[in-house]
């Protein structure tokens, strides 16, 4: 793997400034994981996911440069929109399990709950724990009016997770060849 110059972590005062921004991002605990803002060092794990065959469900597989563009857009979203990409790490050993997104990317008609996890983390409930906390954050802390997941119709695991989280398929909408899975806004806070 070739690390490009723009992937290098900041140093000196830039590192201090970046850490101040990072510390201001919400950190959410589940029973076994933490959702936290992404570090520069998390990019390799993100790139491994979206440049591999697993990336086919998120407009990929991407090139490493395309992965970087996505990573910085989803990270910058915190500053511009108050939400963005979370790194999901295991509480005990701090390994990266995957990523959860609350975002409104270019071209998206509605804010999205997105999730992308490593093969090793699948089937253990981590994605459900993290996505449930992110969904609740959208309703409670951010007061979203609407929330959807844009899911490739061939991505059975993501569809099953969305259903488990209470989403239903919107039969009247698609977005970029994806199905729109809609989360009903709860009448009371979760």
Q: Looking at residue 128, what DSSP letter applies?
A: H
Q: Are 118 and 49 in contact (CB under 8 A)?
A: yes
Among residues of the chain, what percentage have pLDDT more than 90? 79
Cα–Cα distance, 26 to 36 (Å, whole number): 7
Where residue 125 falls (left for φ over 0; alpha for ψ -120 to 50; beta otherwise) is left
Q: Is the pLDDT of residue 2 over 90?
A: no
Q: Is the pLDDT of residue 189 over 70?
A: no
pLDDT band (50, 70, 90) for residue 70: very high
pTM of this prediction exceeds 0.75: yes
Q: Is the pLDDT of residue 170 over 70?
A: yes
Q: Is the pLDDT of residue 187 over 80?
A: no
Return the pLDDT at 8.
Answer: 86
Q: Looking at residue 145, what DSSP letter applies?
A: S
Cα–Cα distance, 51 to 8 (Å, whole number): 19
**H helices of the chain, where?**
12-24, 43-51, 64-81, 126-140, 156-164
Q: Which domains, and CATH codes, for the chain?
A: 35-183 (3.40.630.30)
Q: For residue 28, give every residue at least 6 positions away whose Cβ sits within 8 Å of its Cβ, in sequence order, or none.
A: 34, 35, 86, 133, 134, 137
pLDDT band (50, 70, 90) for residue 64: very high
Q: What is the mean pLDDT of residues 126-147?
A: 96
Q: What is the mean pLDDT of residues 149-160?
A: 96
């Amino acid at each position: 793997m070739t690390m490009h110059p723009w992937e290098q972590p900041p140093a000196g005062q830039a590192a201090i400034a970046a850490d101040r921004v990072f510390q201001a991002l919400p950190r959410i605990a589940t029973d076994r994981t933490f959702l936290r803002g992404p570090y520069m060092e998390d990019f390799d794990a993100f790139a491994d996911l979206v440049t591999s065959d697993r990336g086919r469900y998120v407009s990929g597989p991407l090139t490493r440069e395309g992965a970087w563009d996505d990573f910085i857009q989803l990270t910058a979203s915190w500053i511009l929109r108050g939400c963005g990409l979370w790194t999901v790490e295991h509480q005990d050993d701090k390994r990266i399990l995957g990523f959860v997104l609350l975002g409104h990317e270019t071209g998206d008609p509605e804010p999205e709950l997105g999730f992308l996890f490593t093969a090793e983390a699948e089937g253990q409930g981590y994605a459900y724990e993290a996505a449930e906390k992110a969904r609740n954050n959208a309703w409670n802390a951010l007061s979203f009016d609407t929330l959807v997941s844009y899911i490739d119709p061939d991505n059975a695991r993501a569809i099953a997770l969305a259903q488990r989280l209470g989403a239903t398929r919107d039969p009247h909408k698609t977005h970029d060849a994806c199905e729109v899975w809609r989360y009903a806004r709860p009448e009371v806070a979760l």
